[in-house]
Amino acid sequence: MKKLLALILSVAMLAAMAVTLTSCSGGDDAVQVGIVLPTKDEPRWLQDEASFKDALDSAGFTSEVLFSQGKSDVELSNVEALLEKDIKVLVICAQDATAAGAAVNKAKAAGVDVVCYDRLITGTDSVDYYVTFNSFAVGVAQGQYLIDAYKDQTGVPLYIYSGAVTDNNAFIFFAGAWSVLNKAVADGQFVVQNCPAIKDYAGKALDPDADHDTLSTILGTITTDWDFSKAKSLAEANLVAANASAKGDVAILAPNDGTARAIADAFSADSAVSSYVITGQDAEMASLKYIQDGKQSMTVWKDTATLAKTTCDLVSSILGGNTPDTSTTYNNQAKDVPSAECAVTVVDKDKLAELISAGSFDQAKIDAAK
Ligand code: BGC
């Protein structure tokens, strides 16, 4: 019995030593790529998680995905936990563009390469690369859709909403949309109903970098914080404040799918709104269903499989000791960050039917969406 106990104990000790050795030496179960995503509560980021698993697993890299659940302190502890696992590359989609600086500074100090994913972290030179969709093109597509939908009309009430001001992308999306809408407002096609701060900018485009402070003030008055319930209450408050002439057939710039559905619900509940055209982005299943049901007009599809694959190629190059291919740079207020940019696709009801036939989306998944 004693011999058996001694044997069990020594096997256990050996096993413990092996675990310690593996994690110290970055051996077989070490995590090579640590991924930190903003939240599990928006379908968009679950799509990214799944796409990452596919791309990194098939490339043969070990990886771990952690979610920050909307909190910068959780994001920081996620990064610390991944550094403990001896990661070589950190892929991070920041919760808050500025606050995330502390997390990536730690990663950089630990000798880890830092890749910003989808959202750029600002004000620090600890960022090595940025992989993103063309966010300005997303905004342009949203603005242009509204313009085309109300072609040759004047005085159409326009309601505008933005993403979170802590997200650098929110500035780029809005600046993209405003780059086309500003002319339509100056020409009288649209009358903005819910944003006095934009009045001075009819006929004037705004630059996401050079006009950052102005945009910050404007977005501050129309922000949804990327939060569905905040989006809905803001839209409801705007409708309460609007008189009948500001209703009828309206145009709505909604920044993404989740907020678009919430805002659309508020507008469809108002009997003085006879019809609305509303934008979105992300091609979330629930929004594809809204598009088929005529409750959302369009979305901008940002194929997360493409973004994850592009990130994976970049990571592969870093791990192979090479300099990744990048096509452009984004300034993060501390440096020009070498960036890889992916294209986006506009999806309305007709385009969606085409994409379903082509196998890009599955009708059963759209039907099952909540
Ligand atoms: C992303 C969008 C997303 C939004 C809210 C943005 O940074 O680019 O795709 O809808 O955050 O999570």
Does residue 9 lie in a domain region? no
pLDDT bucket at 29, cuts 50 / 70 / 90:
low
- Asked whether residue 87 falls in the same domain as residue 159, the answer is no
Q: Say what the pLDDT of residue 82 is.
A: 98
- Asked whether residue 206 falls in the same domain as residue 151, the answer is yes
- Asked whether residue 158 falls in the same domain as residue 249, the answer is yes
- The CA-CA-CA angle for residues 182, 343, 89, to 5°, reads 115
**How far is residue 68's CA from residue 89's CA, in Å, rounded to a whole number?**
18
**How far is residue 232's CA from residue 25's CA, in Å, rounded to a whole number?**
51
Q: Say what the pLDDT of residue 159 is.
A: 99
Question: How many angstroms separate the alpha carbon of residue 23 from the centre of ligand 1?
Answer: 34
Answer positive or negative: Cα dihedral of 296, 298, 300, 304.
positive
- Asked whether residue 172 falls in the same domain as residue 266, the answer is yes
Question: What number is the average pLDDT over the span 279-307?
Answer: 97
**How far is residue 233's CA from residue 153's CA, in Å, rounded to a whole number?**
29
> pTM surpassing 0.85?
yes
- Asked whether residue 204 falls in the same domain as residue 314, the answer is no
Phi, psi of 169 (to 5 degrees): -60, -35
Pocket test for ligand 1, best of 37, 44, 300 (most atoms within 8 A of CB): 44
- Is the pLDDT higher at 26 or at 341? 341
- Is the pLDDT higher at 4 or at 248? 248
- Asked whether residue 95 falls in the same domain as residue 190, the answer is no
Percent of the chain residues topping a pLDDT of 70: 92
Question: What number is the average pLDDT over the span 10-21?
Answer: 38
Domain of 354 in residue numbering reads as: 135-302+347-368
Which residue is closest in CA terms to ligand 1's atom 12?
Answer: 226
Question: How many angstroms separate the alpha carbon of residue 200 from the centre of ligand 1?
Answer: 28
- Strand ranges, E, within 27-149: 33-37, 63-67, 89-92, 113-117, 129-133
Instruction: Please state the domain count of the chain.
Output: 2
Ligand 1 lining (C-beta closer than 6 Å):
42, 44, 118-119, 163, 167, 169, 226, 256, 281-282, 302
Question: How many angstroms separate the alpha carbon of residue 131 from the centre of ligand 1?
Answer: 14
- Asked whether residue 71 falls in the same domain as residue 180, the answer is no
- Asked whether residue 353 falls in the same domain as residue 243, the answer is yes
Phi, psi of 71 (to 5 degrees): -125, 130
Residue 265 has pLDDT above 60, yes or no: yes
- Quote the tokens at residue 237: 């408050």
Does residue 10 lie in a domain region? no
Does residue 16 lie in a domain region? no
Question: How many angstroms separate the alpha carbon of residue 303 from the centre of ligand 1?
Answer: 13
Q: Say what the pLDDT of residue 24 is.
A: 31
**Pick from 144, 157, 96, 143: which is nearest to 122 by CA?**
96
Helix axes 257-268, 43-59, angle to 10 degrees: 160
Q: What CATH number is given to the structural domain containing 292?
A: 3.40.50.2300
Does residue 28 lie in a domain region? yes
Nearest atom in ligand 1 to 302's CA = 9
Answer positive or negative: Cα dihedral of 122, 125, 127, 128.
positive
